[in-house]
Chain A
């Protein structure tokens, strides 16, 4: 069996050519299978005598399974024909459809070895991985490009050659170019020259001929319709070439610059532009690589459009994805439904992550997450029809609850028009809100949170609500952190002592009513200080006239004092604040006195990860510890160099050794686990629980930890 694929620009005449070549081969008694890889599914029309065929993907979409008996039809001269089919124009992913078709045919036991030839008729250009599948190993042994001398066709042919070069690992695959002439000037010469440039040959020229439309009208190939014509002879010649004379090569496609030169010279007949003989690469703006003899030539090159744009510079990794970030927000609106338009796995990892990281929730709860459980057919054909059915059912099931539709990566890739659908389904009683996250395409976890927080605000915060005097909104709680609830409790203690009511936790364990009344409070209190909270507070302040306090997080005594006083000043509760601080001071001093006898005069070496650890340093200093802090690592900017067993990189071990030698510490505190044989070490929390006593509470635990063996027995059993 020999696999043959025909590629070429859309509308260039691939299907006509391939059908005629197949017909010619079949006349010679060859057993042939033709697989049309085009959503238009018109590839086999001339062999079958018209459109009669159910496509593979149509059957998958309507019946759910594929049977070879119904998708493989017999046409002219016993040629077997299969059409992949695909989505309607503008929806879904046709490339994915081709991948799926070829896999389904394999799964259904299609035995290609029973044929002498399997032909693949592939739509247009190699625009994505799906369209490239037939040219990969295991499918086509030879690829023929159908092209005219028109510029667009030459561009497409060069692109196909590029794809082919990419997928050719050992033997060449490009069988040649079939010139399907359109009657432009010097067309044969243009194609011959192009073929030579990319290292191949012209198999044949097919002249423009009125018999072709006549045969197409009759739904027949030229071989059948007009077997004794010159045209039929040409198709037979191509068939003969494929059968006996083919000599596939690895193509040498033209660079963008060379192609431009070729077009200028041969297609436009214009004067040859300046071409740089031995290009070297320079980098401009980190985004474009420009081929030039030297940097000064860059500008000239740009004006001559001889630009080779490379892949943009690699971006830093995105932690989490925006889908998860958005769900992290919507999960906290108790009376909303979070519907993930995603594969089931996206919902599963989110559902389980919440289940396993929120054990400290006081009240057990039913997760509000549901999932469309996106199917392969949704990806290929577009999923809006399926989504419409799901949303309509959900509206019946949850008639008053807002439904937030959060989208995953595949949705962003297939480009479903969700906004039109939600607009159609929205009613006065119920809103369906599209949260356009598209998985990682919409950014990282924090961007997803921000997107969702902004959207919820725009949709639900009632701008007409007037503020009351003693309310405050809490923003930026870290919902996936196990310290979120303990932190809230500590802050709530302070607010309660100041007689300040929490109006809305934006967004954690809240509901639509509280969100609507967000403006009852004019002050927002941020409980974390990352960029997301900064952006959110700016947004809320600008759009809803609130004021977000610029305030340190209440970690440790000093910061909590400042935290308390700043809030109190805003609400004229200074006296209550001082009373609270005095009480906290008493407790702090009492704890300090208990700890001082043990810690005073001791030397601590802190190995931090670069985070703010004032709470720890100040508390240790308060109990008389002499503190030295170094930062040997940062978890998120690791360069990947190997780590030693002690937990730090070899390249950083020297720094640690020097710090130990110079400071002679009594104990080491590290933001990640490390051990030493002769100095006690502890792993300190990078996210301690808030409150006046964060530092001393840790020191109390440390008091005991420093008394236990430096290395626990089990660690020797590694």
Chain B
């Protein structure tokens, strides 16, 4: 979808492509671009997906420029004129010595214009490490499209055998990236519940996964998509090329109790296994939440009708909005969409039209628009990323901020507090009650 907003705070397809490679534990991303394009992304990758493979000794050697990952070819004007081949070749040979399992080389916006043939350069460099080239990620392509396109290229490289036998009761998890808020806990939560059902997760594709596990992805029986925006194309690819069906994308993403219950039940139906565990789990979470919510409501009347604003990708926003509105009785006053997933976007629009016609729906708002709407609607709760949190600090009435989306710069996360699935529901309700009580 064409992006016509002036929003300066959304990552684009280049970041998405980097996320795909950095989401493989043993891979190295080589950026064919200037040094300035790598610092922030490498910094965030190190915080959000640290891995011993990116040893600290790297940081003072060539192409790394003081950081332990994301080497780059430090392109300058001369390279734009004469082509980047000499530097790319040199950098590829340098990175080749580091014994990564995969190298992803990505052209930045400038080098993609001059049209250097990365595939040919890789051939000529005669390196041992398998290498995937992304000649262009587009200019202002979406983060999700950059991630999905790069992931498909990676899978094309890694999944050689299309006829490998499927492993019974196995799935892949698709649709999260290492830059997502709380990605590791969320994937762990889904895996945990699947394990209770006797379902094995072969691979969380390009989301902090090992290359060996990604190589097994073609043997899964079913693909699960956490967030439509980051997984629909990959799922289509895997269905077409490796005959792996995908969970129904019309289902809400697994945020909140009902959506999680429905989502996991759909999986049990696919595998034709009992769903008692899911029912029990949902019952337990409802019971736990009920006591906490009943107590909160009894001594404050703050919960029902509490205005909230949420910013995030459509799949997450749609599921959370319905959960907060229907289950908690919170009132969405403004919804800001970042990444658009077609099915969830249509569903969200219909939902708002029929249930919440006065809720403002913003697409990719810039910081001035966000400020205006926060001022206008004065939410008590704000769900989103560090971007919205920092904007909210300038308001007269500062809402309680609960992180749900990225980019998130506030805190390092070490504890196991997911926001998806059944345990994610408990995290969210805990945060909400503590914020408003």
Contacts and interface: CB of A to CB of B under 8 A. Distances in A.
A321 B34 contact: yes
Contacts of B60: 633, 635, 638, 643, 649
A343 B12 contact: yes
A311 B78 CA distance: 8
A20 B110 CA distance: 38
Given A137-B119, A349-B40, A355-B409, A318 B6 contact: no
Given A364-B390, A441-B77, A640-B94, A371 B35 contact: no
Nearest to A350: B8
Given A371-B8, A374-B139, A317 B115 contact: no
Nearest to B72: A317
Contact of A344 (B10, B44, B120, B136): B10
Contacts of B409: 352, 355-356
Contacts of A130: 113, 115
Interface stretch (B151-159, B253-261, B289-297, B366-374): B366-374
A635 B387 CA distance: 32
A364 B8 contact: no
Contacts of A137: 119-120
B6 A390 contact: yes
A342 B10 CA distance: 13
A107 to B, nearest CB: 10
Contacts, number: 216
Interface stretch (B80-88, B163-171, B301-309, B326-334): B80-88
A138 to B, nearest CB: 8
A396 interface: no
A96 interface: yes
Contact of B8 (A64, A369, A375): A369
Interface stretch (A183-191, A221-229, A405-413): A405-413
Interface string B104-121: 000011101111110110
B120 A169 contact: yes
Contact of B6 (A371, A376, A414, A439): A371
Nearest to A168: B120
Interface in A622-646: 633, 635, 638-645
A142 B86 CA distance: 27
B74 A376 contact: no
B117 A132 contact: yes
Interface string B1-36: 011111111111111000000000000000000111
Nearest to A319: B35
17 contacts: A99-B136, A137-B119, A167-B117, A167-B120, A318-B74, A320-B36, A321-B37, A343-B139, A352-B9, A352-B40, A352-B407, A367-B367, A370-B8, A372-B6, A373-B7, A409-B110, A440-B75
B109 A343 contact: yes
Nearest to A408: B109
A412 B79 CA distance: 13
Nearest to A338: B8
B391 interface: yes
Contacts of B367: 366-367
Interface in B350-392: 366-368, 371, 386-387, 390-391
B61 A376 contact: no
Interface in B135-165: 135-136, 138-140
A370 B120 CA distance: 37
A672 to B, nearest CB: 8
Contacts of B35: 317-321
B178 to A, nearest CB: 15
Contacts of B66: 635
B139 A410 contact: yes
Contacts of B9: 347-348, 351-352, 367
Interface string A119-135: 00000000011101100
Contacts of A178: none
B78 A96 contact: no
Q: Specify which of A103, A356, A408, A410 lies most central, judged by the most chain B CB atoms within 10 Å of its CB.
A: A356
